[in-house]
Amino acid sequence: MTKHAFAVLGLLFCAAAAAQGPVSEARWNQVDLQAEATREVQNDTVHANLYVEMTDANPAALAAQLNRVTTEALKTAAEFKTVQARTGGNTTFPVYDRSQKLTGWRGRADIRLESKDFPAAAQLIGKLQTSLQLAQVTFAVSPELRRKTENELIVDAVAAFRNRAEVAARALGGKSYRIRRVSLNTQGAFPQPRPYMGRVAAASAVDAAPPPPLEGGTATVTVGAAGTVEVE
């Protein structure tokens, strides 16, 4: 056969292949799966909220009193280097009698504390209770510990996802599987309900109140893996 004939046959073969279109990829069974990895970690951060409430006939005098108390509280807190203190809400509202006559003004100022040093935070709370009342204490996982735990759980979540993929492949009688896609969801830290709450009367101006017991408890950190695998 001449070279010209071979060239013609080659062109015909290419044309036939183009007419048939690309070879279709083998169809595999697709399975949607999800898995997760969880771990309980110790709450390493304490948050506390203290407040002062006062009443005065003059709103300016009331504001001055609230500012004085919060300023002194922040000075006291500054002595505790491992505790972060800042002002919170500051509100003033009118007080009326039953005949809707204005009788005075009532105000509230808040101080918020945050620390990883539980003993220091407890000691500071006790000191501040000479002029403030304790509204609430809660515990949480710090962002640093949460990210570290999530990074470790990503490995466990992916391993759990692969294990489920293997189970699904065997259940379908498949010879192998491949991961088509997978997404990771870090759900953060969900603390166990361990709030310390109470309206504690202010201590005398001489002695600080006893430090409250601060037990942080634990929180649950979860990382989920969800995606699709194809089973042959």
**pLDDT tens track for 103-136:** 999 999 999 999 999 999 999 999 999 999 999 9
Taking the C-alpha atoms of residue 164 and residue 27, their distance in angstroms, rounded to an integer, is 21
Residue 192 scores a pLDDT above 60: no
* pLDDT confidence band for 27 (50 / 70 / 90): low
All structural domains of the chain = 26-44+141-200+216-232 (3.30.110.170), 46-140 (3.30.70.360)
d(CA 98, CA 160): 66
Residue 190 has a pLDDT of 61
Query: What tens digit of pLDDT does each residue of 54-77 get?
Result: 999 999 999 999 999 999 999 999
Provide the pLDDT for residue 103.
92
Rounded percentage of the chain residues whose pLDDT exceeds 70: 79
Q: pLDDT tens across 146-160, in order?
A: 999 999 999 999 999
Cα 135 to Cα 35, 114, 129, 199, 201, distances in angstroms? 40, 14, 11, 6, 10
Vertex 213: Cα angle to 194 and 142 (nearest 5): 55
Statement: residue 232 has pLDDT above 80: yes
Share of the chain above pLDDT 90, in %: 69
Q: Which residue has the higher pLDDT, 204 or 46?
A: 46
To the nearest whole number, what is the mean pLDDT of the chain? 84
In the predicted model, what is the mean pLDDT of residues 38-45? Answer: 95
pLDDT at 188 over 90: no
Task: State pLDDT tens for residues 80-108.
Answer: 999 999 999 889 999 999 999 999 999 99
